[in-house]
Amino acid sequence: MKKVMMMTLALALAIGCQRVPLSGRKQLLLVPNSELLPLSFSNYRGVLDTSRVIRSGNDAQMIQRVGNRLRTAMESYLRANNFADRLEGFQWEFTLIQSPQVNAWCMPGGKVAFYTGILPYTQNEAGVATVMGHEISHAIAEHGNERMSESLIASNLLQGGQLALGAVAQSRPQQTSAMLLQAAGAVLPIAYQVGRALPHSRKQELEADKLGLIFMAMAGYNPNEAVGFWTRMARAGSGQKPPEFLSTHPSDSRRIRDIQNQIPDAMKYYRQTARR
Protein backbone atom coordinates (compact mmCIF):
# COMPACT_ATOMS: atom_id res chain seq x y z
CA MET A 1 0.00 0.00 0.00
CA LYS A 2 2.73 2.47 0.98
CA LYS A 3 4.77 1.52 -2.08
CA VAL A 4 1.84 2.20 -4.42
CA MET A 5 1.18 5.53 -2.67
CA MET A 6 4.80 6.65 -3.04
CA MET A 7 4.87 5.63 -6.71
CA THR A 8 1.69 7.61 -7.30
CA LEU A 9 3.17 10.68 -5.60
CA ALA A 10 6.41 10.39 -7.59
CA LEU A 11 4.46 10.17 -10.85
CA ALA A 12 2.35 13.18 -9.90
CA LEU A 13 5.44 15.22 -9.08
CA ALA A 14 7.08 14.28 -12.39
CA ILE A 15 4.01 15.12 -14.49
CA GLY A 16 2.79 18.20 -12.65
CA CYS A 17 6.03 20.17 -12.21
CA GLN A 18 5.95 23.58 -13.95
CA ARG A 19 7.76 26.92 -13.70
CA VAL A 20 6.16 30.24 -12.79
CA PRO A 21 6.63 33.04 -15.38
CA LEU A 22 9.19 35.71 -14.42
CA SER A 23 10.10 34.18 -11.05
CA GLY A 24 11.14 30.83 -12.51
CA ARG A 25 10.03 29.03 -9.35
CA LYS A 26 9.11 25.37 -9.74
CA GLN A 27 5.54 24.52 -8.79
CA LEU A 28 3.22 21.53 -8.73
CA LEU A 29 0.04 21.75 -10.86
CA LEU A 30 -2.11 18.62 -10.82
CA VAL A 31 -5.64 19.94 -11.41
CA PRO A 32 -6.50 20.37 -15.12
CA ASN A 33 -8.07 23.68 -16.16
CA SER A 34 -10.91 21.71 -17.73
CA GLU A 35 -12.00 20.91 -14.16
CA LEU A 36 -10.86 24.05 -12.35
CA LEU A 37 -12.10 26.85 -14.61
CA PRO A 38 -15.79 25.86 -14.93
CA LEU A 39 -15.97 25.77 -11.13
CA SER A 40 -14.24 29.16 -10.95
CA PHE A 41 -16.59 30.74 -13.50
CA SER A 42 -19.64 29.35 -11.72
CA ASN A 43 -18.49 30.72 -8.36
CA TYR A 44 -17.74 34.11 -9.91
CA ARG A 45 -21.22 34.29 -11.42
CA GLY A 46 -22.67 33.38 -8.05
CA VAL A 47 -20.83 36.27 -6.39
CA LEU A 48 -22.04 38.75 -9.01
CA ASP A 49 -25.62 37.50 -8.75
CA THR A 50 -25.66 38.26 -5.02
CA SER A 51 -23.72 41.56 -5.16
CA ARG A 52 -24.42 45.12 -6.22
CA VAL A 53 -22.42 45.38 -9.43
CA ILE A 54 -21.50 48.84 -10.72
CA ARG A 55 -21.63 48.85 -14.52
CA SER A 56 -21.21 52.55 -15.30
CA GLY A 57 -19.51 55.68 -13.98
CA ASN A 58 -15.91 56.81 -13.68
CA ASP A 59 -14.83 54.15 -11.20
CA ALA A 60 -16.27 51.27 -13.23
CA GLN A 61 -14.63 52.65 -16.37
CA MET A 62 -11.31 52.93 -14.52
CA ILE A 63 -11.49 49.28 -13.42
CA GLN A 64 -12.13 48.22 -17.02
CA ARG A 65 -9.36 50.45 -18.37
CA VAL A 66 -6.72 49.28 -15.89
CA GLY A 67 -7.77 45.66 -16.29
CA ASN A 68 -7.51 45.74 -20.06
CA ARG A 69 -4.12 47.46 -19.99
CA LEU A 70 -2.78 44.84 -17.60
CA ARG A 71 -4.33 42.06 -19.65
CA THR A 72 -2.70 43.31 -22.85
CA ALA A 73 0.71 43.61 -21.18
CA MET A 74 0.50 40.19 -19.54
CA GLU A 75 -0.71 38.38 -22.62
CA SER A 76 1.98 40.00 -24.75
CA TYR A 77 4.71 38.92 -22.32
CA LEU A 78 3.41 35.38 -21.84
CA ARG A 79 3.03 34.72 -25.56
CA ALA A 80 6.47 36.14 -26.33
CA ASN A 81 8.11 33.95 -23.67
CA ASN A 82 6.46 30.58 -24.35
CA PHE A 83 3.94 30.79 -21.52
CA ALA A 84 0.84 31.07 -23.72
CA ASP A 85 -0.50 27.83 -22.22
CA ARG A 86 -1.06 29.78 -18.98
CA LEU A 87 -3.85 31.66 -20.76
CA GLU A 88 -5.69 28.57 -21.97
CA GLY A 89 -9.39 28.83 -21.13
CA PHE A 90 -9.12 32.38 -19.69
CA GLN A 91 -12.26 34.51 -20.00
CA TRP A 92 -11.24 37.91 -18.65
CA GLU A 93 -13.79 39.95 -16.74
CA PHE A 94 -13.23 43.05 -14.58
CA THR A 95 -16.11 43.91 -12.26
CA LEU A 96 -16.57 46.68 -9.70
CA ILE A 97 -18.73 45.72 -6.71
CA GLN A 98 -20.35 48.17 -4.30
CA SER A 99 -19.16 47.05 -0.88
CA PRO A 100 -17.34 48.51 2.13
CA GLN A 101 -14.96 45.54 2.07
CA VAL A 102 -11.34 46.54 1.51
CA ASN A 103 -10.79 43.75 -0.95
CA ALA A 104 -10.13 42.60 -4.51
CA TRP A 105 -9.49 39.18 -5.99
CA CYS A 106 -9.02 37.26 -9.21
CA MET A 107 -10.36 33.74 -9.64
CA PRO A 108 -8.62 31.21 -11.90
CA GLY A 109 -9.38 32.04 -15.51
CA GLY A 110 -9.19 35.82 -15.20
CA LYS A 111 -12.37 36.65 -13.26
CA VAL A 112 -11.61 39.85 -11.32
CA ALA A 113 -13.72 41.48 -8.62
CA PHE A 114 -12.79 44.90 -7.25
CA TYR A 115 -14.63 46.28 -4.21
CA THR A 116 -15.36 49.98 -3.80
CA GLY A 117 -14.10 49.76 -0.21
CA ILE A 118 -10.50 49.54 -1.42
CA LEU A 119 -10.67 52.61 -3.69
CA PRO A 120 -9.84 55.12 -0.89
CA TYR A 121 -6.54 53.25 -0.48
CA THR A 122 -5.68 52.92 -4.17
CA GLN A 123 -6.37 56.66 -4.70
CA ASN A 124 -5.49 56.63 -8.43
CA GLU A 125 -5.12 54.38 -11.48
CA ALA A 126 -1.60 53.33 -10.54
CA GLY A 127 -2.90 52.26 -7.13
CA VAL A 128 -5.64 50.24 -8.82
CA ALA A 129 -2.99 48.71 -11.10
CA THR A 130 -0.96 47.74 -8.02
CA VAL A 131 -3.86 45.80 -6.54
CA MET A 132 -5.13 44.34 -9.79
CA GLY A 133 -1.64 43.40 -10.98
CA HIS A 134 -1.12 41.52 -7.72
CA GLU A 135 -4.45 39.69 -7.91
CA ILE A 136 -4.17 38.81 -11.60
CA SER A 137 -0.65 37.52 -10.96
CA HIS A 138 -2.13 34.94 -8.59
CA ALA A 139 -4.19 33.64 -11.53
CA ILE A 140 -1.32 33.79 -14.04
CA ALA A 141 0.95 31.95 -11.61
CA GLU A 142 -1.89 29.46 -10.98
CA HIS A 143 -1.53 29.75 -7.24
CA GLY A 144 -5.02 28.35 -6.64
CA ASN A 145 -4.23 25.22 -8.63
CA GLU A 146 -0.94 24.92 -6.79
CA ARG A 147 -2.63 25.10 -3.38
CA MET A 148 -5.14 22.44 -4.40
CA SER A 149 -2.36 20.22 -5.76
CA GLU A 150 -0.27 20.57 -2.61
CA SER A 151 -3.32 19.78 -0.49
CA LEU A 152 -3.85 16.57 -2.45
CA ILE A 153 -0.24 15.54 -1.90
CA ALA A 154 -0.34 16.54 1.77
CA SER A 155 -3.51 14.54 2.31
CA ASN A 156 -1.84 11.44 0.90
CA LEU A 157 1.31 11.99 2.95
CA LEU A 158 -0.67 12.55 6.15
CA GLN A 159 -2.67 9.43 5.46
CA GLY A 160 0.54 7.50 4.88
CA GLY A 161 2.03 8.85 8.10
CA GLN A 162 -1.03 7.84 10.08
CA LEU A 163 -0.98 4.35 8.56
CA ALA A 164 2.69 3.96 9.46
CA LEU A 165 2.07 5.20 12.99
CA GLY A 166 -0.88 2.85 13.25
CA ALA A 167 1.36 -0.07 12.41
CA VAL A 168 3.81 1.01 15.13
CA ALA A 169 1.00 1.55 17.62
CA GLN A 170 -0.24 -2.01 17.19
CA SER A 171 2.86 -3.26 18.98
CA ARG A 172 2.18 -1.01 21.99
CA PRO A 173 -0.26 -1.45 24.87
CA GLN A 174 -3.81 -0.42 23.96
CA GLN A 175 -3.80 2.77 26.05
CA THR A 176 -0.42 3.86 24.68
CA SER A 177 -1.56 3.06 21.16
CA ALA A 178 -4.67 5.21 21.54
CA MET A 179 -2.62 8.12 22.90
CA LEU A 180 -0.16 7.90 20.00
CA LEU A 181 -2.91 7.93 17.39
CA GLN A 182 -4.75 10.78 19.11
CA ALA A 183 -1.57 12.86 19.35
CA ALA A 184 -0.74 12.23 15.70
CA GLY A 185 -4.23 13.21 14.62
CA ALA A 186 -3.83 16.54 16.40
CA VAL A 187 -0.17 17.32 15.71
CA LEU A 188 0.36 16.29 12.08
CA PRO A 189 -2.22 18.68 10.52
CA ILE A 190 -0.95 21.59 12.64
CA ALA A 191 2.64 20.80 11.74
CA TYR A 192 1.70 20.81 8.07
CA GLN A 193 -0.10 24.16 8.37
CA VAL A 194 2.66 25.96 10.27
CA GLY A 195 5.57 24.20 8.63
CA ARG A 196 4.43 24.13 5.00
CA ALA A 197 1.02 25.56 4.08
CA LEU A 198 1.35 28.99 5.72
CA PRO A 199 4.97 29.63 4.64
CA HIS A 200 4.06 28.58 1.11
CA SER A 201 1.06 30.92 1.08
CA ARG A 202 3.33 33.80 2.13
CA LYS A 203 5.74 32.86 -0.64
CA GLN A 204 2.89 33.02 -3.16
CA GLU A 205 1.87 36.45 -1.88
CA LEU A 206 5.39 37.82 -2.31
CA GLU A 207 5.60 36.23 -5.74
CA ALA A 208 2.32 37.89 -6.75
CA ASP A 209 3.76 41.21 -5.51
CA LYS A 210 6.82 40.73 -7.72
CA LEU A 211 4.90 39.67 -10.82
CA GLY A 212 2.26 42.34 -10.28
CA LEU A 213 4.91 45.04 -9.97
CA ILE A 214 6.48 44.05 -13.29
CA PHE A 215 3.16 43.61 -15.08
CA MET A 216 1.92 47.04 -13.96
CA ALA A 217 5.19 48.52 -15.22
CA MET A 218 4.72 46.75 -18.56
CA ALA A 219 1.24 48.26 -18.71
CA GLY A 220 2.68 51.75 -18.30
CA TYR A 221 2.01 52.34 -14.58
CA ASN A 222 4.82 53.65 -12.37
CA PRO A 223 5.78 50.80 -9.98
CA ASN A 224 6.86 53.32 -7.33
CA GLU A 225 3.15 53.85 -6.66
CA ALA A 226 3.00 50.34 -5.17
CA VAL A 227 4.96 51.42 -2.08
CA GLY A 228 2.45 54.17 -1.32
CA PHE A 229 -0.50 51.80 -1.63
CA TRP A 230 0.94 49.11 0.63
CA THR A 231 2.03 51.73 3.16
CA ARG A 232 -1.54 53.04 3.34
CA MET A 233 -2.84 49.49 3.76
CA ALA A 234 -0.32 48.82 6.53
CA ARG A 235 -1.44 51.89 8.45
CA ALA A 236 -5.10 50.91 8.08
CA GLY A 237 -4.48 47.40 9.42
CA SER A 238 -2.00 48.29 12.16
CA GLY A 239 -2.37 46.12 15.26
CA GLN A 240 -4.98 43.79 13.73
CA LYS A 241 -2.78 41.05 12.28
CA PRO A 242 -1.35 37.82 13.74
CA PRO A 243 2.39 37.12 13.82
CA GLU A 244 3.76 36.40 10.35
CA PHE A 245 4.46 32.72 11.05
CA LEU A 246 0.74 32.19 11.79
CA SER A 247 -0.47 34.20 8.80
CA THR A 248 -1.20 33.43 5.15
CA HIS A 249 0.30 36.82 4.24
CA PRO A 250 3.76 38.31 4.87
CA SER A 251 4.14 41.10 7.39
CA ASP A 252 3.58 44.62 6.07
CA SER A 253 7.19 45.60 6.70
CA ARG A 254 8.55 42.61 4.81
CA ARG A 255 6.17 43.14 1.91
CA ILE A 256 7.06 46.82 1.55
CA ARG A 257 10.79 46.11 1.89
CA ASP A 258 10.66 43.43 -0.82
CA ILE A 259 8.72 45.71 -3.16
CA GLN A 260 11.22 48.52 -2.64
CA ASN A 261 14.03 46.11 -3.51
CA GLN A 262 12.24 45.01 -6.69
CA ILE A 263 11.39 48.48 -7.99
CA PRO A 264 14.72 49.03 -9.84
CA ASP A 265 14.07 45.91 -11.92
CA ALA A 266 10.43 46.88 -12.54
CA MET A 267 11.47 50.37 -13.60
CA LYS A 268 13.39 48.87 -16.54
CA TYR A 269 10.10 47.61 -17.95
CA TYR A 270 8.38 50.91 -17.16
CA ARG A 271 11.02 52.94 -19.02
CA GLN A 272 10.77 50.63 -22.02
CA THR A 273 7.02 51.19 -22.10
CA ALA A 274 7.41 54.96 -21.73
CA ARG A 275 9.73 55.09 -24.76
CA ARG A 276 7.20 53.47 -27.08
Q: Look at residue 117 and tell me whether its pLDDT is greater than 50.
A: yes
Average pLDDT value for residue range 198-207: 90
Average pLDDT value for residue range 41-52: 98
Residue 171 lies in a domain: no
Helix (H), strand (E) at residue 27: strand 26-28
**pLDDT at res. 268:** 96
pLDDT digits (tens, 9 = 90+) for 151-165: 887 776 666 555 555
Average pLDDT value for residue range 14-31: 84
**pLDDT at res. 245:** 55
Q: Considering its fold, how many domains does the chain have in total?
A: 1
Residue of 145 and 168 predicted with greater confidence: 145
Residue 234 lies in a domain: yes
135 is catalytic: yes
Average pLDDT value for residue range 146-151: 88
Residue 186 lies in a domain: no
Q: Look at residue 1 and tell me whether its pLDDT is greater than 60.
A: no
Residue 189 lies in a domain: no
Single out the catalytic residue among 88, 93, 125, 135. 135
Residue 103 lies in a domain: yes
Report d(CA 157, CA 250) in Å as an integer. 27
**pLDDT at res. 274:** 73
Tell me whether strands 111-115 and 104-107 are parallel, antiparallel or unpaired. Answer: antiparallel
Residue 56 lies in a domain: yes
Tell me which of 62-66, 81-85, 261-265 is least confident: 81-85
Tell me which of 102-111, 127-136, 186-195, 230-239 is least confident: 186-195
Query: 3-state class of 147 per DSSP?
Result: helix
Residue 156 lies in a domain: no
Residue of 214 and 183 predicted with greater confidence: 214
Classify residue 245 as exposed, middle or buried by CB count within 10 Å of its CB (0-12, 13-18, 19+): exposed
| Residue numbers of the domain that contains 257 | 2-145+201-274
**pLDDT at res. 7:** 46
CB-CB neighbours of 45 under 10 Å = 12
Average pLDDT value for residue range 25-38: 92
The predicted model scores a pTM of 0.82
Angle ∠(208,67,69) on CA atoms, nearest 5: 100
Residue 199: pLDDT band with limits 50, 70, 90: confident
Residue 170 lies in a domain: no
Residue of 201 and 241 predicted with greater confidence: 201
